[in-house]
A and B are shown apart, each in its own frame.
Chain A
């Protein structure tokens, strides 16, 4: 007899600061996917940002403060899941911030072991294959660096996308090359960043796809902003929006919102 009393898997959602501020849809889509996969999702309110801006600027003091705050906020959840390889990758860096013997180091290691990016969580950890979504069109996929190289995310989003009805994937050239976002890099070295993102939008357009999809909002905002500036028609979305069947709202940078209500 099947066990009908399996308790739901308790997941703490790591919202990520960019989804929180720029595109709440991404966090809602992540919640929806997690619930579809049988998880009970909670959003700990003591979370802010993963601390990457401080970490990558060599500011270990503030990185450590934020790391402790995040570790404490997600105490007690079976899993910590977020819609970004870069932010979850940062959570995986936390142990480096603490000395051996520091109790925080053990806690950081323990958090690392249960922190997952959403597509790899669904595929690698839950073996999930219950995507119910339709999107008719040709898309191309950008592999964001941290997800790809730090967390090994490559085939997971593609596998899940293949379950979306109507989607065809047309791979672009250099899908694995950095888009030039790099957090503070894009404002510290604007011209170099601009060259890198221009190369990227060029390859994306050449793929013949009508939509550019990826798993990290930083990169997506960068590429969407560039496509807009170049006057290209290509739409940009986070992969979870396609997977959760949430492509009704405008794509990134495409909005025509009724501000009167929203403010």
Chain B
């Protein structure tokens, strides 16, 4: 996927004008947050579970190597194989190699953000293998040559009409605006692919160390067909998905569905434990787990370690007023919203992603809803510090900040400056209460008036009052 994060401002501007996108974002805002709120209200112990989940994730991250080793040992006992990949490129090559071993022409795929992160689809295509997305949203996007704009509802930026048009073009059937008809159409098309596929690739929501199982949660059941029908099942997962026990996974499951869609439980919770045994009715002959690091182990032991607690529920973006205004594509890479503004700089570099952690008012709503209590604003500020240290912040910002700080650290000069600035604005404002156009503050006055200071500064007035009292 092409990196467009440096163009965040332009993309956001376009997105704000895009009527269809705004309509789709309106649906998102009207849906997920309300559903989450009522699910949370039905569960009095929700906040307690969040504390437990945070603590458990912290514990896992302290012992990440141990749990991953245990996981690998169990996978091997179950007859599978684990492949450790430090970079995105290692992961792509490993997966390609595994597909080639099967002489694969077609691979079916369940929804997986980490395969977006490593740009898997394009890589497979370049190498003559046809990936077929089987999650409905991902399938629509693949037909359109588009990318996810949301981590659990990838096609949330589209409206029903868009889907209808896309299906009409690709399926050559009469147009329909009935979701049930469209769904049936997709199902019919995908069924052939499920049967024809040589390899099935899925992501993982959890890796269970004690059993060597991988787990996915879906609402469509497409993941089950992707992983049971082909001869080979490849699970692609990032390293921080490991949890010690099944019991632990259930703690996260309770939080995940409620935080994401407001469901009590996701519809399909599927465990894969190795390849088919002699008396199993179905299942793949080969079972592989590709573990992707891609910068994550560098986060361990730093302030960013907290970000590795993320269970990819999407609550932070569903509640984010900035995401809600500009949509996921504006962020210009795989992960949008607050969690993306923390992760993206780590993965593509702060030089390219600097605009993302700045695109926040620090309103704190994301942290308020995050099920594993990730201090997202604090982590975004961490990136702003890095940016400032590296002298990457725009010159005008540094200059403005520098001159402001010069005065702010010299109270007497500061008094003189504010008195002058107040007077200047009062002259500009004339007899009116607001200024329509203020030099150096176009960002403000292009969209709103600037209320004029109502008189001399408080400090001037206070001093005058004190002196009067003394007399």
Q: Which residues of chain A have a CB within 8 Å of any CB of chain B?
A: 15, 17, 19-25, 27-28, 43, 45-49, 51, 53-60, 62, 65-66, 69, 145-146, 148-150, 176-178, 180-197, 199, 221-222, 224-226, 228-229, 249-250, 252-257, 259, 262-263
Contacts and interface: CB of A to CB of B under 8 A. Distances in A.
Contact of A225 (B16, B360, B450): B450
Given A20-B457, A192-B16, A255-B433, A185 B360 contact: yes
B421 interface: yes
Contacts, number: 222
Contacts of A255: 429, 432-433, 452, 454
B24 interface: no
A40 to B, nearest CB: 14
Nearest to B429: A255
**B contact face: mostly helix, strand, loop, or mixed:** helix
A182 B362 contact: yes
10 contacts: A23-B451, A24-B456, A48-B411, A59-B405, A69-B411, A180-B321, A188-B397, A190-B442, A192-B12, A257-B426
Interface of B: 9, 12-13, 16, 321-322, 325-326, 358-365, 367-368, 381, 383-389, 393, 397, 401, 404-405, 407-409, 411, 414-415, 418, 421-423, 426-427, 429-434, 441-444, 446-459, 461-462
Given A194-B447, A256-B431, A145 B362 contact: yes
A191 B385 contact: no
Contact of B16 (A45, A51, A195, A197): A195
Contacts of A262: 426, 455-456
A193 B429 CA distance: 23
A185 B444 CA distance: 10
A192 B454 contact: no
A253 B447 CA distance: 15
A225 B444 contact: yes
A263 B448 contact: no
Given A24-B455, A225-B434, A57 B448 contact: no
Given A57-B401, A65-B409, A180-B321, 17 more contacts: A51-B408, A54-B401, A54-B405, A59-B405, A62-B401, A62-B409, A146-B364, A182-B361, A187-B444, A189-B12, A192-B12, A196-B321, A197-B447, A228-B433, A250-B433, A253-B434, A257-B431
Given A25-B454, A229-B449, A59 B401 contact: yes
Which of A46, A149, A253, A259 has most B Cβ within 10 Å?
Answer: A253
Contact of B409 (A48, A183, A197, A221): A48
**A contact face: mostly helix, strand, loop, or mixed:** helix
B361 A178 contact: yes
B443 A186 contact: yes
B361 A191 contact: no
Contacts of A19: 458
A195 B448 CA distance: 11
B426 A263 contact: yes
Contacts of A59: 388, 401, 405
A24 B458 contact: yes
A221 B444 CA distance: 11
B381 A58 contact: yes
A28 B458 contact: yes
A253 B367 contact: no
A198 B416 CA distance: 35
A56 B423 CA distance: 28
A178 B418 contact: no
A250 B454 CA distance: 9
Which of B13, B418, B448 has most A Cβ within 10 Å?
Answer: B448
Given A53-B404, A182-B363, A192-B359, A22 B326 contact: no
Given A226-B447, A262-B456, A49 B325 contact: no
Nearest to A60: B385
Which of A27, A55, A183, A228 has most B Cβ within 10 Å?
Answer: A228
A190 B447 contact: yes
A189 B12 CA distance: 9
A65 B405 contact: yes
A186 B388 contact: no
Given A47-B411, A195-B16, A222-B448, A58 B393 contact: yes
